[in-house]
A and B are shown apart, each in its own frame.
Chain A
Amino acid sequence: MREIRMGRKLTGMILAALLLPLGFAPGQVSAQLLMNGAGATFPYPLYSKWFDEYAKLDRSARFNYQSIGSGGGIRQIMAQTVDFGASDGPMSDEQLRKAPGELFHIPMVMGAVVATYNLPGTPKLRFPADLLADIFLGKVTRWNDPRIEAANPAAGLPNQPIILVHRSDGSGTTYIWVDYLSKVSKEWEAKVGRGTSVNWPVGLGGKGNEGVAGLVKNTPGALGYVELAYAITNKLPAAAIRNRAGHFVEPNIESTTAAAAGAARNMPPDFRVSLTDPPGEDAYPVAGFTWLLVYREQHDEIRGRALAKFLWWATHDGQKYAPALLYAPLPPQVVKMVEPKIKEIRFQGKPLLAGD
């Protein structure tokens, strides 16, 4: 008997615990807007930091973000199930046409993609762009190929096959990498092309940055690509790549920001621009924006204003949180170009940020 009573008591307690939040929740939330967003996984650490910091400044809105991937972000904003989407790759013209309203791409920060490798002694490597493309096309197959040796005379390259490693999961990192290869090699553009996943001519696939890094670390003679942030935190070797100006540039946050500064001169008004292979002396050539996707015409004045205010904050004060998390902040030229775009966000034809 006693046990049964205990059991009932316990059940009652559990039930109460389950019901408790239901009873209290509405009172707390009603005062606060809940803004929903979904999309790219790559900027997620920064976005969650932003939402956290922003919540301290503006208590009226709370931001909720699901990092379901850029593809999912694009689908959700097109279906209008979220207030904002996020993507590492720009939407296609066709997708923009299909969307129920005019969508803005607001650049938030930049990421870079680096070539990492596993060679005895971990020499510093340098790659001319066309050579990189030919390696990934499977045309240059050994480390002691004369073309690699010519660029790295002191590296002491072994007579070993190059084992290529690429991402197996669809990702913005892949998009930036193959977008770069498409720009520097006509053959790559024709045979493989651009996408978050492509039909790789050679190589092994690793899942995520950690999968690629794991394969590279454990396979002598491997060459792969990972995000700059991942390479820095895990102290992976990263090759310098020759940019359009003819300089070999090491990947880091400054050289990534320089890439956007170089691209700012001929930035299209909708910001759907690839930053790969930009002009500029110090620009690291394999970099890209990550965007938030928002409708120009908002359906709800209060929500729309909250969103526009957040975008303004993120592209200005929020940028200072980027370097600590190893994202490259927007250069001032680009921030200047983004400002009028954010001010264009409106409700029933009325700009939402007019006063600022």
Chain B
Amino acid sequence: MGRRTSQPWEGLGGGQALPRWVSWQAGRAGASLGDRGFRLLTRTAALYVLGLMAAMSFAMSWAAFPSLKAFGWRFLVTSTWDPVAESFGALPFVYGTVLSSMLALLIAVPLSIGAAIYLAELAPLWIRPPIAFLIELLAAIPSVVYGLWGIFVLAPWLRTWLQPALATWLGFLPLFQGPPYGVGMLAAGIILAIMVVPFITAVSREVFLAVPTTQREAALALGATRWETTRIAVLRYGRSGILGAVLLGLGRALGETMAVTMVIGNRPQIALSLFAPGYTMASVIANEFAEATSDLYLAALGEIGLLLLLLTVVINALARLLVWSVGGAVKAVRE
């Protein structure tokens, strides 16, 4: 196993990678016309993604230009959002996006990985397919349905049960202070967590299933208990794959619009309390774009879009670095 080099771009359990000679063959001059045509086609498809990305960045910058010129760095550090006076600052939206996504991961990651371990390692065989199917089904529910459920079920429950309980037991923390509205940052975090669980679970489960049985047998042979086997042989082996799964979930959480906007309270403010309403970048664009009439207003929304794109790129790059460094560590352990 030590010979398999772990590459940073191999996100999810790259165990099934083809032998190198296959790709050599395709590139060789003598390869058949079909092979070359296929190669060209797939390459075009890959380049298309790059082109799209470049075009998007350009279009966004273009749209944001008046706002970039008018506000400069102030756009990033001020928190007034006043369309009437045309004074715009993006800080509360950035804060809301990052906080709600982190909150979602905090809840979703342990839950998903637990579920994935159970499904891949512990559950009786007959029960695995139906549970896996149901979890994947969760991913197919439209976000507006989650949003409505959030307004009509989750928010009232939070307001009458969870938030008063949190305020009673943990009220000394600034995180759990203030009036319980039900809707707010906490509701957004929980909705997002529910929405990303199926993604992280499904991918982690695949990662665990891809761990060679020999790994587990080796751990068992050393006298490891079931938990130790899971920890040493499965979790450690699949670490980079799990991070990939978490990233996928994070991507969805950062960009989710509809469900979040229905439960977050849509108030552009920076509050420490999780009970307080907040706002996210995707939500403000979806909410205000259609009726934004002035040029500067539109440009400010465009700049929010640009920031969201940048934020996604930065977070993904950081996470890639993390996968990379962890991948390196795994390699070191294996060798």
Residues on A lying within 8 angstroms of B by beta carbon are 41, 68-72, 74-75, 89, 92, 95, 161, 163, 168-172, 192-200, 203-207, 211, 214-215, 218-219
Contacts and interface: CB of A to CB of B under 8 A. Distances in A.
A22 to B, nearest CB: 26
B262 to A, nearest CB: 6
Contacts of A206: 262, 266
Contact of A219 (B80, B81, B181): B181
A71 B267 contact: no
Contacts of B283: 168
Interface stretch (B44-52, B151-159, B225-233, B307-315): B151-159
A327 B152 CA distance: 28
Given A168-B266, A204-B277, A219-B182, A214 B148 contact: yes
Contacts of A197: 83, 287-288, 291-292
B151 A193 contact: no
A338 to B, nearest CB: 24
B269 to A, nearest CB: 10
Contact of A195 (B83, B159, B287): B83
A169 B290 contact: yes
Contacts of A74: 293
Contacts of A71: 289-293
Contact of A194 (B84, B182, B262): B84
B181 A198 contact: no
12 contacts: A41-B290, A68-B290, A69-B290, A168-B287, A192-B84, A194-B84, A196-B292, A197-B83, A197-B287, A199-B80, A199-B83, A215-B183
Interface string B274-300: 000101000100111111110000000
A171 B291 CA distance: 6
B158 to A, nearest CB: 10
B179 A205 contact: no
A42 to B, nearest CB: 11
Given A218-B156, A219-B182, A204 B261 contact: no
B293 A95 contact: yes
A145 B293 CA distance: 38
Contacts of B255: none
Contacts of A215: 151, 155, 183
A204 B183 contact: yes
B83 A204 contact: no
Nearest to A211: B262
A196 B291 contact: yes
Contacts of B82: 198-199
A4 B22 CA distance: 27
Interface residues of B, number: 33
Given A199-B80, A204-B181, A218 B277 contact: no
B80 A196 contact: no
> What are the nearest 5 A-B pairs in CB distance?
A170-B291, A205-B266, A69-B290, A168-B266, A199-B82
Contacts of A72: 290-291
B140 interface: no
A206 B13 CA distance: 42
Nearest to A196: B291
Contact of B293 (A161, A194, A196, A199): A196
Identify whether the interface residues of A are mostly helix, strand, loop, or mixed. Answer: loop
B291 A199 contact: no
Contacts of B159: 218-219
Nearest to B160: A220
Q: Which among A92, A170, A193 has the greatest number of chain B C-beta atoms within 10 A? A: A170
Contact of A207 (B80, B287, B289): B287
Nearest to A41: B290
Contacts of A41: 290
A149 B148 CA distance: 34
B84 A198 contact: yes
A219 B266 CA distance: 16
Given A71-B293, A211-B262, A199 B288 contact: no
A258 to B, nearest CB: 28
A89 B283 CA distance: 23
B84 A207 contact: no
B151 A218 contact: yes
Contacts of B85: 193, 199
Nearest to A200: B267
B265 interface: yes
Contacts of A69: 289-291
B274 to A, nearest CB: 15
A163 B83 CA distance: 23
Contacts of B277: 204-205
A74 B298 CA distance: 13
B91 to A, nearest CB: 14
Contacts of B288: 169-170, 197
Contacts of A207: 258, 261-262, 266, 287
Nearest to B86: A195
Interface in B173-218: 179, 181-183
Given A193-B85, A218-B155, A161 B179 contact: yes
B265 A205 contact: yes
Contacts of A163: 179, 181
A70 B291 CA distance: 6
Given A71-B292, A199-B80, A199-B85, A204 B262 contact: no
A356 B220 CA distance: 93
Nearest to A168: B266
B266 A204 contact: yes
A95 B292 CA distance: 13
A214 B152 contact: yes
> Residue among B85, B155, B291 with the most chain A CB within 10 A?
B291
Nearest to A161: B179
Contact of B267 (A161, A205, A214): A205
A219 B151 CA distance: 10
